[in-house]
Amino acid sequence: MKRYAALYAEFTGTFAMVFCGTAAMAVNETTGGVSHEGVAITWGLIVMVMIYAFGSLSGAHFNPAVTTAFALAKRFSWKKVPAYVITQTAAAVAASLAVKTIIPKSKILGATIPSIPHDSAFWLEFLLSFFLMIVILHISTGSKEIGPVAGLAVGSVILLEAMFAGPLTNASMNPARSFGPALVGNHWEPMWLYLTAPFAGMALAVVLFKYFVSLEDAG
């Protein structure tokens, strides 16, 4: 039963995150009534709230790259990774379908489409994902983002990164978040970088975290 509770939490949290974030982008696209700053704040706040809501149930990953990074860090069982990733991806697709239904005038649906060259976009997404995972590793308990500061810390990082990197790459840091709007809206051209950079950046975060923590323990 705990497994199903965790998957329920991952689906609901990912759905809420992708729906609210991309809906804010779609509303801004069609009406101009949200603003770039409003979009960034929406992403940060919905992530913060969902972490507080579901951190104790599933760990509040909401991101295939985060789940994989926790497994690399040996904080999360590899056996659970496929179910988490499938659930997160399905939730993102469902959220994008909801946005398309509710805001049919949107052509982008909050898709991640870079405004800079793709190689530059890859490295920016790599760094954004690295910074995010470093924070998650330091504030999480095991593979769970729980505690009084977890939601605030992670939500703040996402808000800040969306604020300055949103106009450049839409600050995805999340393969599922990018895949949902791409599938529903048929925006595939730069998808390779959004499916690879978060995994690579977060993997590096795990390697460096484990190395420096081991040095501290040895000292």
Q: What pLDDT, on a 0 to 100 scale, did the predictor assign at position 2?
A: 73
Mean pLDDT of 69-94: 97
Give the residue among 137, 159, 131, 169 at the shortest CA–CA distance from 61: 137
Check: CB of residue 108 under 8 Å from CB of residue 181: yes
Give the global pTM: 0.95
Decide if domain 2-218 falls under CATH 1.10.1040.10.
Answer: no
pLDDT band, residue 219 (cuts 50/70/90)? low
Domain boundaries defined on the chain: 2-218
- Looking at every residue in the chain, the average pLDDT score rounds to 95
Instruction: Report the 10 Å Cβ neighbour count for 43.
Output: 29
Structure tokens at 134: 């470093």
Q: What pLDDT, on a 0 to 100 scale, did the predictor assign at position 218?
A: 60
**Could you tell me which residues are beta bridge partners of residue 141?**
144
Q: What pLDDT, on a 0 to 100 scale, did the predictor assign at position 118?
A: 97
Give the residue among 123, 70, 96 at the shortest CA–CA distance from 178: 96
Q: What is the dihedral of CA 155, 52, 206, 130, to 10 degrees?
A: -10
Check: CB of residue 13 under 8 Å from CB of residue 63: no
Look-up of token digits 């969306």: 162
